[in-house]
């Protein structure tokens, strides 16, 4: 058995994380712990685009496999102004 410090050194000072110790994220709506990756597509207008043409920018978010709710914790805050990924049942 090696100490936590030795483990830490073995990983070049990077923190060694045991996934079993980590908190599982549950859907804030139905408490389900499985998620599908889906995309929100943001439009970059031509004026702001480096190419001068509108660009579609897919942003991955995770929705609950049961109720398709996108928990706030997984949804980038800066997207909240315009997008409403969460469905109200």
Instruction: Give residues in contact with Zn ion (CB under 5 A).
Output: 27, 29-30, 32, 64, 66-67, 69
Contact (CB, 8 A) for 54 and 44: yes
CB of 32 to Zn ion, least distance (A): 4
Cα separation values, 53 from 12, 50, 57, Å: 45, 8, 12
d(CA 70, CA 50): 30
Structure tokens at 35: 């998620």
CB of 35 to Zn ion, least distance (A): 9
Which CB, 43 or 73, lies closer to Zn ion? 73
Which CB, 29 or 86, lies closer to Zn ion? 29
CB of 20 to Zn ion, least distance (A): 23
């Amino acid at each position: 058995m090696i100490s936590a410090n030795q483990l830490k050194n073995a990983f070049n000072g990077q923190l060694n994380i045991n996934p079993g110790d980590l908190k599982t994220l549950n859907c804030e709506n139905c408490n389900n712990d499985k998620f599908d990756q889906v995309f929100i597509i943001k439009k970059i207008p031509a004026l702001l685009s480096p190419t001068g043409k509108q660009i579609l920018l897919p942003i991955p978010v995770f929705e609950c496999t049961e109720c398709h709710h996108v928990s706030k914790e997984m949804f980038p805050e800066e997207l909240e102004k315009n997008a409403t990924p969460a469905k109200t049942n």
